[in-house]
Structure 1
Amino acid sequence: METSRGRFAALEGMPGSGVAEHCPALLVPGYTGSKEDFLAVLQTLANAGRRRVVAVDMRGQYESPGCEDPSLYTRAALGEDVAALAEALGPDPVHLVGHSFGGLVTRETVLAGRVRLISYTLMSSGPAGVDGPSAAKARALMEAIPQLGMDRIWTLSLEPDARSRGLAPEIVDFLRARTLGNCELGLRTMAAELLTAPDRVDELAKAAEDAGLPILVLYGEDDDVWDPREQAAMAERLDAAKVVIPGSAHSPAVEAPETTAGALTDFWNASERRWRCGSSF
C-alpha cells in the first residue's frame, strides 16, 4: 500500500461475490509479528460483505521497508503510519484492530484523533507495557541483537524452538524469512517501546467517549503476555465490549480463527448499524 508516509506490505481480503456494502478494516500485528498473523481470518472477515480487509506489516516488519531513524519506530510514529494507512483505505471510516504491541501503537492513532474510525479493537493487548516473563524475553532480544544479529539468534535459539514444537517445514521456512526480514534497529527500538509504554487507558476512554467510538477488548482465555484479568479490568475502564476466546492464548486469530472472525464481524456490524442510524463515531 502506498501512503503519505511510505510504502507498506499488505495482505488484502475482498468478498468473492455479492455486494460489498460494509466499511473496510485495517489489522495491525504485534511485536515480531506480521500481516500473516491474520491470514486465517482475513477472507472470512471479507466474505461478510466488507469492501476491503487489510492486514499490514508495520514499518521495518518483515516485508515493509525499514529505515535507519530510530525515532520512526516509536509508538507515536508508528501510530502516524497506521493513520496514513487508514487514510489510504478511505473515504469510508475504518474498523481498526491492533494485536498485542499493535494495540499500543493503534492506541496512539486513536488518541491523535485525525482519522475517521468506526470502531476500535484491542486484541490481546494491555493497558501498559509488558512485565514479567514477556518483558524478560523482549529485553533479552533487545540486548542480544547488537551482539549476535538476527541470523545467529535464529540459528541458536528460534529455529531449534520452532522445530521442537513440531511445526511443518514450510512454516519454519516462513518464520525464518520473517525473522531475518525484520529491521534489527526496528526490533530493538520497538522492544524498548513495548517495555516502557505508559498506562493511557483513561485518556483512551475519554477520547472514545468524546468521539462516540465503540471499543472491543478481545483476548484468549489463556493469554500469557497480558494477564486476562488485566485485560478484563481494562475493558471495564474503557466501558468497552469484551470477548474472551475459548481455547486461545495470545494469538486468537491464529489459534481460534473462526471464533475470532465471528466476534469481530458481529462487533463491526453492530458498530455500523449504530453509525448508519446517525450516532456519532
Structure 2
Amino acid sequence: MSTPRFVTLPPGVRRTTVETSRGVFAALEAFPGSGVPERAPALLVPGYTGSKEDFIAVLQPLARAGRRVVAVDMRGQFETAGSTDPAVFTRAALGDDVAALAEALGPEPVHLVGHSFGGLVTREAVLSGRLLPASYTIMSSGPAGVTGRAAARAQALRDAVPQLGLGQIWDLSLGPDALGRGLPEEIVDFLKARTLSNCETGLVAMAHELLTCPDRVDELVKVAEDTGLRTLVLYGEDDDCWEPREQALMAERLDAAKVVIPGAAHSPAVEAPETTASALTDFWNHCERGIR
C-alpha cells in the first residue's frame, strides 16, 4: 500500500495491513529500534470519524519501550474497506473485529487502547469473552453514548450523510472549518482524503451506535474481578465530548488507574503525544510487572 503524499510518517513507522479471520485492516505499525520486540504488543483503536493516523505521534515513543505498536482503521474507516450492510457496524460486530485483530497480532495478549467511540467498541470485545488483553485503556471515552453537544454533532452528521453525501459535507462544512482553523495544507489534504474515503453506511450506522450505547461499566467491573484485568482511564483535562467528571466517576467504578492529560481536550495522542505515550508506557510496564 503506497503512502499518500499528504501523510508524513515519522521514522520507524510504516504503513501496513493486518490480515484477520474477519478481513484485512489497514494499519500503521512501529517496532523498537532494535527491530525485536521484548514486551507485549499494543493495539490502538480510533474513534468515530477517526483513523489510525490519530495515533501517529505516539507510535514511535510507545515502540521505544520495546514493543510492537499497531494502530488500525476500523471497518469502513479511511483505508479499511467498508460495507453496504449496516449490521457489520454495530458495536458488537466491530468488537468482534477488534478481537480478531488482537488474535492476529498474538500469540501474546495485547495492551488494548480504545479512543472515544473506539472505547465503546473495544469494551464490547472485552465483554464478549473473545479477548482478554494484557491491559485495557479507555481513552477519552465514557460509560455510555454521547450526550449534549457531542450528540448533536453526531446526529447532524448522521442525518446529513444520506441527504448530501460526504463530498458536499466536506465542501459546505468540514473543508471550510479546516481552512478556517489555519491548518497546514498537507493536513487539510489528509482530512479531505480521509473524509471522502469513509464508508457512508458505516458513518450512519456508527453514529447510531455512538448515540444509543448503554452503560456497561458494571459488566466490565465483573470481568475485571473475574480475570484480574487491569484498566486505565485516560483523558484530557478539557475533553469536550464526554465530561472529565463523568470519566473520573467511571474510573472510580472500575477501580481503574486514572491519568488526566494537562493541556489536552478530546485527542490526547494528538494534543499531548509525549505525555500520553509516557502515561501508557508506565501503565503497561506496571501491568507486566504485576505492580498495582
Alignment TM class, shorter chain as reference: over 0.9
Match of 2:41 in 1: 24
Q: Confirm or deny that 1:96 pairs with 2:112.
A: yes
- Contact persistence 2:147–2:211 (CA under 8 A): yes
Q: Confirm or deny that 1:154 pairs with 2:135.
A: no
Take 1:117 and 1:215, find their aligned partners in 2: how far apart are those partners? Answer: 10
Take 1:28 and 1:83, find their aligned partners in 2: how far apart are those partners? Answer: 11
Aligned letter for 2:161?
A: I
Q: Confirm or deny that 1:6 pairs with 2:20.
A: no
Q: Confirm or deny that 1:175 pairs with 2:175.
A: no
Among 128, 135, 153, the alignment partner of 1:137 is 153
- Contact persistence 2:113–2:136 (CA under 8 A): yes
Take 1:14 and 1:243, find their aligned partners in 2: how far apart are those partners? Answer: 25
Take 1:239 and 1:154, find their aligned partners in 2: how far apart are those partners? Answer: 42
1:92-144 superposed Cα distances (whole Å, 9 cap, x missing partner) = 11100000000000000010122241100000000000000110010011001
Q: Confirm or deny that 1:47 pairs with 2:86.
A: no
Worse-superposed segment, 145-154 or 13-22: 13-22
Take 1:209 and 1:64, find their aligned partners in 2: how far apart are those partners? Answer: 35
Take 1:194 and 1:32, find their aligned partners in 2: how far apart are those partners? Answer: 11
Take 1:129 and 1:250, find their aligned partners in 2: how far apart are those partners? Answer: 15
Match of 1:236 in 2: 252
1:150-178 superposed Cα distances (whole Å, 9 cap, x missing partner) = 00000000000000000000000000000
Q: Tell me which stretches of 4 or more aligned residues in structure 1 moved more than 6 Å.
A: none
> With structure 2 as the length reference, what TM-score do the two structures score?
0.93
- Offset of 1:18 from its aligned partner? 6.9
Match of 1:263 in 2: 279
Take 2:38 and 2:132, find their aligned partners in 1: how far apart are those partners? Answer: 17
Q: Which SS does the other structure have where 1:27 is aligned?
A: strand
Match of 2:15 in 1: none
- Offset of 1:20 from its aligned partner? 2.4
Aligned letter for 1:41?
A: V
Aligned letter for 2:46?
A: P
Aligned letter for 1:95?
A: H
- Contact persistence 2:132–2:229 (CA under 8 A): no
Aligned letter for 1:49?
A: G
Aligned letter for 2:43?
A: L
Take 2:27 and 2:41, find their aligned partners in 1: how far apart are those partners? Answer: 14
Take 2:35 and 2:115, find their aligned partners in 1: how far apart are those partners? Answer: 29
- Offset of 1:21 from its aligned partner? 1.1
Take 2:35 and 2:24, find their aligned partners in 1: how far apart are those partners? Answer: 30
Match of 1:82 in 2: 98
- Offset of 1:208 from its aligned partner? 1.3
Among 186, 209, 220, the alignment partner of 2:236 is 220
CA change 1:149–1:22 in 2 (3 A) is: same
Match of 1:118 in 2: 134
Q: Confirm or deny that 1:253 pairs with 2:236.
A: no
Take 2:167 and 2:210, find their aligned partners in 1: how far apart are those partners? Answer: 22
Cα RMSD of the aligned pairs, angstroms, is 1.1
Q: Which SS does the other structure have where 1:32 is aligned?
A: coil
The gaps in structure 2 that reach 5 residues or longer are 1-17
Match of 2:224 in 1: 208
1:184-211 superposed Cα distances (whole Å, 9 cap, x missing partner) = 0000000000000000000011111111
Q: How many residues align?
A: 275
Take 1:18 and 1:158, find their aligned partners in 2: how far apart are those partners? Answer: 39
- Offset of 1:16 from its aligned partner? 1.4
The gaps in structure 1 that reach 5 residues or longer are none
1:205-243 superposed Cα distances (whole Å, 9 cap, x missing partner) = 111111100000000000000000000000000000000
Match of 2:203 in 1: 187
Take 2:205 and 2:224, find their aligned partners in 1: how far apart are those partners? Answer: 28
Identical-residue share of aligned pairs (%): 76
Q: Which SS does the other structure have where 1:9 is aligned?
A: strand
Take 2:180 and 2:150, find their aligned partners in 1: how far apart are those partners? Answer: 20
Take 1:212 and 1:263, find their aligned partners in 2: how far apart are those partners? Answer: 20
